Amino acid sequence: MAPDTPNNTSSGILGGALSPGLCSVTLRSRSIDEVVAVAAEAGLAGIEWGSDVHVPDADAAARAKAACADAGLRVFSLGSYYRAGTFGDFEPTLAIAAGIGAPRVRIWAGSLEPHEADAGTWDAVVEDTRRIAALAAGQGVELAFEFHNHSLTATVDGTLELLDRVVRPNVGTYWQPAVGVSDAEAPDALRSLLGRLMGIHCFSWWPQAERLPLGAREGLWREAFSIARSSGRDLDVMLEFVADDSLENLHGDAATLRKWIDAG
């Protein structure tokens, strides 16, 4: 993980800088060039590229890397679908990460939630994570767990237990508001994970998976960004899953995100 060295934001507040970006999965039906154009037009700083559609191989990774460079965008990370505990071949994923210039790869903590998993499942996820973390470290790459249901990182306690058992400096977690958790309660999870945080997936769903404009949960997100800055680390905040998959809504959410980040 990045060192815990405070940085000064543009607002002059001591803390980590937040960079607004986009998950390419938000535009799954669009081409690499279209994703880059939309992100640049929306005033975003970078992209997390999904390995399922946009960058499944070396050729696509090279195209995405070049397109980002031409547009002045950073590659935030590679959003992989590798499930720790499967002991699969992780080298192809790392090759794509290298080809696209990704400093971080998102992974998943198995396929079961903490209350569903037996000791053998936990041991497998821990051992496999340590294995791929060593491979990633050899290339200077971080690994970030998706904070998501249907995985051992479905809960804060599960995430912390897993990271405490893995104990690798290049392994951390993402955070996003859990489905159905209120604006008042959701930031508590972020606070608990702050020392292990590597990035944020940003969207507004309520009361369950209904997609709303980002601004509909303004209180949640302003508090979340304040908490994130307090880590003293630079962090990427990546828009995901806008209402109706609409470009108009994406531009609106991007403008909201930039406004909140600029406000400090």
Rounded to 5 degrees, φ, ψ at 90 are: -90, -10
Q: At what angle do helices 91-100 and 119-137 cross, to 10 degrees?
A: 40
Q: What pLDDT is attached to residue 156?
A: 98
Cβ partners under 8 Å of residue 116, min gap 6: none
- Contact predicate 154/145, CB 8 Å: no
Q: Which residues of the chain have pLDDT under 70?
A: 1-14
Q: What pLDDT is attached to residue 15?
A: 74
Q: CA separation (Å) from 135 to 107, 142, 220, 247?
A: 14, 10, 37, 38
Q: What pLDDT is attached to residue 14?
A: 53
Domain 18-263 in CATH 3.20.20.150: yes
Measured between alpha carbons, how far is 176 from 117 in angstroms, rounded to an integer?
A: 22
Measured between alpha carbons, how far is 217 from 206 in angstroms, rounded to an integer?
A: 9
Q: What pLDDT is attached to residue 7?
A: 33
Tell me the pTM. Answer: 0.93
Q: What pLDDT is attached to residue 3?
A: 33
- Give the end-to-end CA distance of the chain in Å, rounded to a whole number: 23
Measured between alpha carbons, how far is 11 from 77 in angstroms, rounded to an integer?
A: 26
- Residue 198 has, within 13 A of its CA and on its CB side, a CA count of 26
